[in-house]
Chain A
Amino acid sequence: MNKAPSFSEKTKLAELIADNPKLLQVLPRFGIGLGFGDHNVAEVCKANNVSVKLFLLVCSVCFDADNLPHQADFDSIDMDGLLPYLLASHRYYLDERFPHIEEHLQHIIIAGGPKYGNMLSHFYNEYKQEVKKHFKYEEEEVFPYIEALRRGDCGKGYRIEQFRHNHSNIEDTLEDMNSILIKYLPGDILPKERIEIAMDIMELSADLVSHSLIEEHVLIPYVESLENALP
């Protein structure tokens, strides 16, 4: 049994955010804007046309990775918003977070000169390709398959099991980038900027971990239940 979460649909959204600041990044992905006053979660979700249960499920995975949902927990949840949520997360990473990190990294690459700059730039470019490939696979193969499945189209041969099997981990390399920035580059290369960027990377890395958890512990079991219901 999961322990009861410390929040519910009756919790004021502002209080939930005060306890879990990460939620601030989750809101825009659900299309929830700021300025929600003292309304509770249920009220804010309703006003923004978001499934309250799905919202709470995503919150519980993001806040408490040790307490993941059981399949039975989300049979009764309206999942319409899940794929748009995941896509919005991808856009946030690709269009906002990575370019932000890259911009600062460029300064460090230049300051590092040929010796350190080259390897850093190689490292980052390789990683960028890996990340793009990771999201591209999900957006062009996996998500369309799920959309089709939701429409009752059973797809040709593809099964979500393949996704579970191939789901690569993109946060390890990001953490390695931080080790390089923090531990291994000589201390005199733009230390202030490195500290700032390292903080951003840690935040992004934690966000990516939550994102994978949602894909692996919500999306995949959900799709499996759709597959099992096929005639």
Chain B
Amino acid sequence: MTNRIIICEPSEIVANGLSETINGMAGFAVVQRVDTPDRLSEKILAVDANILIVNPILLGFSERNLPSQLIKEYPHLTVIAMVTTYMEEQVLKQYNGIIELNDSKLKIINKLNQIIQTDDKTEKNDDVELSKREIDVLVAVAKGMMNKEIADRMNISIHTVISHRKNITRKTGIKSVSGLTVYALLNNLIDETEVYK
């Protein structure tokens, strides 16, 4: 399986160089580049990335916990810091690994392979645990809401709703709306009075 990487880096030079290096490696592909952390969670989902390389300087004080939040939200995601300037050790601790500006090509290759192997997140791809957002979508589906309605209600795009639904089906093995309703009931996510009127 090819590792799908999303790069979040403000410097054109660094982003270009990183993409160039990674795209030359077997098993890794940069699927998207962004220069701000805005709506990063949605973008990760949209391109189905399993690795995020982000420059910590992009994350201000209010976003300082974003890496650990994302790892929690997407258990199969590996988050790597692209370090271009001095960073507190405390900040870098929450990342699964770091790449530094002066790393050689070989070093980057080794680091990426090593991070992926030690994490072995590909295994966790089969994780059955639904994320908070997925549970919200599941409940909405069980209540009979349409994708458009759910998107409006949760303030996300329809595309994102569909991605969540795909993940819900992958994790639970349940495809139909009526099946998802039973799943939600069995797990006490909704009450019978909310669905069977």
- B-contacting residues of A (Cβ < 8 Å)? 116, 118-120, 122-123, 126-127, 172-173, 175-177, 179-180, 183-185
Contact = CB atoms under 8 A, between A and B. Distances in A.
Interface in B147-197: 172-176, 178-179, 181-183, 185-186, 192, 196
Contact of A180 (B175, B179, B192, B196): B179
Given A180-B182, A184-B182, A184-B186, A119 B176 contact: no
A135 B172 CA distance: 28
Nearest to B173: A179
A183 B173 contact: yes
B10 to A, nearest CB: 45
Given A122-B196, A179-B172, A179-B174, 10 more contacts: A119-B182, A122-B178, A123-B179, A123-B181, A172-B175, A173-B176, A173-B178, A176-B176, A180-B179, A184-B182
Contacts of A123: 178-179, 181-182
Contact of B176 (A122, A172, A184): A172
A176 B173 CA distance: 7
A120 B182 contact: yes
Q: Is the interface of A mostly helix, strand, loop or mixed?
A: helix
A176 B196 contact: no
8 contacts: A119-B185, A127-B178, A173-B176, A173-B178, A175-B175, A180-B183, A184-B183, A185-B186
Nearest to B180: A176
A120 to B, nearest CB: 7
B174 A176 contact: yes
Contacts of A172: 175-176
A122 B196 CA distance: 8
A175 B172 CA distance: 12
A126 B175 CA distance: 15
A153 B183 CA distance: 48
Contacts of A185: 186
B173 A173 contact: no
A177 B196 contact: no
Contacts of B175: 172-173, 175-176
A180 B196 CA distance: 18
B171 to A, nearest CB: 12
A173 B179 contact: yes
A201 to B, nearest CB: 13
Contacts of B176: 172-173, 176
A185 B186 CA distance: 8
A5 B163 CA distance: 40
B186 A119 contact: yes
A199 B159 CA distance: 36
Contacts of B186: 116, 119, 180, 184-185
Nearest to B183: A184
A108 to B, nearest CB: 13
A86 to B, nearest CB: 24
A85 B173 CA distance: 32
A127 B186 CA distance: 18
Nearest first, the 7 A-B pairs at minimum CB distance are A176-B179, A173-B176, A172-B175, A176-B174, A176-B176, A119-B185, A184-B186
Contacts of A127: 178
Contacts of B181: 119, 123
